[in-house]
Amino acid sequence: MTTLVHHETGGGVATVTLDSPSNRNALSVRLLGELERALQDAIGDEAVRVIVLTGTGPVFCSGADLKEQAPARAERPDDAPVTASFPGIMSLIWQSPKPVVCRLNGTARAGGLGLVAACDFAIAPDSATFAFSEVRLGVVPAMISVTVLRRLDPRAAAEYFLTGEVFDAARAAEIGLLTRTVPAEELDATVARYADMLLRGGPEALAITKRLVREVPGMTVDEGMRRMAELSAQRFTSAEGQEGLRAFMQKRPASWVPSAGNPAT
């Protein structure tokens, strides 16, 4: 049976690749199962510091595999729908202690945009297009809204969720769906640059900072100041924080940086 998701690791970076171009990397039950396992392996691998999620072919992900959502299948109570493990996969990416970079090899639609929004970084070629096409099928962007609405400007979310209109990569970056859009020939170099920058951060510090980005805006100012003062003190006295300070004073790379002999290399 053909493998639909490939997982390769090197230099501290795990690359997870959707490889089902015949159906535009649609989120079939089998692809979702393989994707979940690949992500779990990458997150659990101590040698992995950064995860890159990408695809093959001209489309990153077209969303749900509609052939598996046909009424004849949906009526069978023992037949898990395509979305059975999709919320878990988005949560895996969102909550991953390791930074996740989405390298969009091309266009994304519907459920594929839930994956894009779950990642910490999303970098796409300027030729890519996007659409929340659910309403045009008489369904709704329900599950993906959990991650997407945390990224998009509210006016833009209403515009594209309700109309299903196709928009380009420049607009996707403008409204917060993408981190950056680049010419196709610069995609790999840009993703590599982000991975290199992330490898320079302390693993514990990166995991904690990921949580800060999401949790601090929901705190009151007083609560935020109190909790962040405590956290700051803890991190300065932590083993990782002390190593980072020593490395800075000694003008050398910290022990976790691959060039400094980190086991991840």
Least confident window among 67-81, 102-116, 214-228: 67-81
Q: Residue 139 corresponds to which amino acid?
A: V
Q: pLDDT grade, residue 67 (50/70/90)?
A: confident
pLDDT tens figures, 179-191: 999 999 999 999 9
What pLDDT does residue 83 have?
A: 42
Q: H or E element: which one contains 123?
A: strand 121-125
Residue (of 158, 109, 112) closest to 129 by Cα position: 109
Strand 121-125 versus strand 13-18 pairing type: unpaired
What is the pTM for the complete model shown? Answer: 0.91
What pLDDT does residue 71 have?
A: 58
Residue 5 forms beta bridges with which residues? 18
DSSP string, 194-243: HHHHHHTS-HHHHHHHHHHHHHGGGS-HHHHHHHHHHHHHHHHHSHHHHH
Contact 108, 130 (CB under 8 A): yes
Question: Which one of 134, 159, 174, 204 is the catalytic residue?
Answer: 134
- Of the chain, the end-to-end C-alpha distance in Å amounts to 32
pLDDT tens figures, 222-234: 999 999 999 999 9
pLDDT tens figures, 87-140: 999 999 999 999 999 999 999 999 999 999 999 999 999 999 999 999 999 999
Average pLDDT, integer, range 20-42: 95
What pLDDT does residue 1 have?
A: 77
134 is catalytic: yes
